[in-house]
């Protein structure tokens, strides 16, 4: 349903919700965010060692790739194949992200694509920005979500022993990994206080990665252009792409979910694609699936909102060459700045 056709809420405030609020979850997320605010205060008042801040940043990067390269583009969409060491890498880092089991995340995401922004979508954007962002985790599931969720094909996931092991032992696995990496490493590695290790690399880092994931479900469904399919809610949102390592090119992704690149123009604001290409070069990823330039152009002409680059519609244009030039510039920019840091 287009944004301008979504009916406004009506009736008493407590009757506007389609499903029951789970107050236990509300209290949990409220408490988590209050702890994160205190962690921000610790950082801003220089009470946390710089090594701990660096570790927190590394954990954000690692967990983000566990989600994006791993559970999203590999496990959910099978847009490429991963060898077993890479699968171990993905499952470890994803577990640290505190976003439930791989099995659950894949089921919800496949359902989100199949029933995008309808009552059967777990984080249906038609129910409001906040609901799509995090409110869906604080309410009972819509009956349609429960009904259609049982129909999602998870055969490939359920035949994966590593995924099913992580599902069975998710909580102890999460607690052990978090204790070792986020808390004990800074405490024994550089004598950080136990409180600081708990608040910053454990709590604050978790809240940051949660919101980065949630912004894809909310902001990238509300704001931006739709060059590939104007009938979809998902949009091309450069701001979301910049902070989520490339996940903001959401109109492309929902139009071509099987494309490992998740976008149409190379590495620009798309670090995840860069990372997968690197994994391919060292032999850990293979069979990378893409959509042809002709198919992309045809879809843009047929269903796009007119924001697709006009020069790309020219028969003489060479999108592959443009992407290679963009990738070269992005790679050169990265290494030039890396050398400056050294």
Give per-residue pLDDT as tens, 215-267.
999 999 999 999 999 999 999 999 999 999 999 999 999 999 999 999 988 78
Write the DSSP symbol of residue 285: E
Give per-residue pLDDT as tens, 169-212.
999 999 999 999 999 999 999 999 999 999 999 999 999 999 99
Query: Which residues are paired to 285 by β-bridges?
Result: 82
H helix count then E strand count, the chain: 18, 2
Task: Assign 318 a pLDDT band (cuts: 50, 70, 90).
Answer: low
Check: CB of residue 50 under 8 Å from CB of residue 57: no
Give per-residue pLDDT as tens, 37-70.
999 999 999 999 999 999 999 999 999 999 999 9
How far, rounded to the nearest angstrom, does the alpha carbon of residue 311 sit from its chain's CA centroid?
Answer: 31
Tokens of 171: 């909580």
Check: CB of residue 71 under 8 Å from CB of residue 105: yes
- Better-scored residue on pLDDT, 321 or 131: 131
> Which has the closest alpha carbon to 218: 73, 66, 65, 112?
112
Give per-residue pLDDT as tens, 66-123.
999 999 999 999 999 999 999 999 999 999 999 999 999 999 999 999 999 999 999 9
Entry pTM:
0.88
How far is it, in rounded angstroms, from Cα 83 to Cα 70? 12
């Amino acid at each position: 349903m287009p944004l301008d056709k979504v009916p406004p809420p009506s009736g008493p405030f407590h009757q506007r919700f389609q499903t029951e609020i789970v107050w236990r979850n509300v209290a949990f997320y409220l408490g988590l965010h209050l702890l994160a605010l205190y962690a921000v205060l610790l950082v801003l008042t220089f009470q946390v060692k710089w090594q701990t801040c660096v570790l927190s940043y590394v954990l954000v990067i690692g967990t983000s790739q566990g989600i994006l390269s791993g559970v999203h583009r590999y496990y959910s969409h099978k847009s490429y194949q991963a060898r077993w060491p890479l699968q171990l890498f993905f499952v470890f880092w994803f577990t640290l992200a505190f976003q439930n089991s791989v099995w659950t995340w894949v089921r919800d995401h496949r359902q989100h694509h199949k029933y995008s922004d309808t009552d059967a979508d777990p984080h249906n954007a038609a129910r409001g920005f906040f609901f799509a962002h995090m409110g869906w985790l604080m309410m009972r599931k819509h009956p349609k979500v429960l009904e259609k969720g049982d129909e999602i094909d998870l055969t490939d996931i359920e035949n994966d022993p590593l995924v099913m092991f992580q599902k069975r032992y998710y909580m102890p696995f999460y607690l052990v990994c978090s204790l070792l990496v986020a808390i004990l490493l800074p405490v024994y590695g550089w004598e950080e206080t136990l409180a600081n290790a708990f608040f910053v690399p454990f709590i604050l880092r978790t809240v940051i990665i949660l919101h980065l994931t949630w912004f894809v479900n909310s902001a990238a469904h509300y704001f931006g252009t739709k060059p590939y399919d104007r009938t979809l809610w998902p949009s091309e949102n450069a701001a979301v792409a910049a902070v989520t390592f490339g996940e903001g090119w959401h109109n492309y992704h929902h139009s071509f979910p099987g494309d490992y690149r998740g976008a149409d123009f190379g590495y620009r604001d798309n670090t995840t694609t860069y990372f997968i290409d690197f994994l391919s070069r060292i032999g850990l990823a293979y069979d990378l699936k893409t959509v042809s330039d002709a198919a992309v152009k045809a879809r843009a002409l047929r269903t796009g909102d007119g924001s697709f680059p006009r020069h790309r519609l020219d028969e003489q244009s060479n999108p592959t060459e443009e992407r290679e030039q963009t990738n070269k510039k992005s790679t050169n920019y990265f290494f030039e700045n890396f050398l400056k840091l050294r």
